[in-house]
């Protein structure tokens, strides 16, 4: 899980967004701010583009490529 490291290298990758140990969303990373602690997930169907911040307790885990 990438809670304590930068998220910069995740742009374009599919990830799980977790909070309190539960997956709350899965999607593709659209952008990461320069400080690498805030990221945007791309919109997907009816789900809008969404922002997630480490400071709010979100953890990011890349989805394994099979």
pLDDT score at 5: 59
Q: What is the pTM of this model?
A: 0.86
* pLDDT tens string 29-66: 999 999 999 999 999 999 999 999 999 999 999 999 87
* pLDDT tens string 3-34: 445 798 999 999 999 999 999 999 999 999 99
Give SS3 for 62: strand
């Amino acid at each position: 899980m990438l809670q304590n490291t930068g998220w910069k290298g995740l742009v374009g990758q599919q990830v799980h967004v977790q909070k309190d140990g539960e997956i709350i969303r899965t999607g593709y990373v659209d952008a990461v701010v320069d400080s690498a602690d805030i990221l945007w997930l791309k919109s997907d169907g009816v789900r809008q583009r969404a922002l997630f911040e480490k400071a709010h307790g979100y953890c990011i885990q890349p989805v394994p490529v099979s």
